[in-house]
Amino acid sequence: MPEPIPVGSVAPDFVLRDQNNQEVALTALREKGPVLAVFFPLAFTGTCEGELGYIRDHLPQFDGDRLSTVAISVGAPPTHKVWSSSQGFLFPILSDFWPHGRVAADYGVFDDVRGIPNRGTFLIGSDGAVLFSAMVGPGEARTVDTWDAALGAIPEL
């Protein structure tokens, strides 16, 4: 199984398209503060819906003055558009479609046998440093403890 990039690493930069086909750049998000990058395998799957549903249901913790959250998978923007609309996901769902899984590979969470990312969770500071890093493998779900630990790594203002 791949190894996620560790805490203290410089987060690889990326520019990906969201569910509305708009470019989203990590550097631009970091200008507003820390960024939580949440890699997930595929849209329209129960575990992924549950995990991103947790973010949706607790959105003030995940998106506001202190934090921006993006979810990243290998699905195409039109697929993410339909899925995010049906699920009420208001945060960016980014497409790592082409080159296929490049950003997930840069973060050490791409499963090149299955062609999808593992569930990687990274808190990236405004300076680009990785402040939190965790990954669970295929068939495993992130727990509330993972979300709490990631949010707990946000620097105090």
Burial class (CB in 10 A: 0-12, 13-18, 19+), 78: exposed
Q: How far apart are CA 4 and CA 108, in angstroms?
A: 4
Residue 62 has φ and ψ, to the nearest 5°, of -105, -15
Give catalytic residue positions.
48
Phi and psi based region of residue 108 (left: phi greater than 0; alpha: psi -120 to 50; beta: remaining)? left
Burial class (CB in 10 A: 0-12, 13-18, 19+), 54: middle
For residues 80 and 90, the answer to whether their CB atoms sit within 8 Å is no
Residues whose CB falls within 8 Å of the CB of residue 59, separated by 6 or more in sequence, listed in order: 90, 91
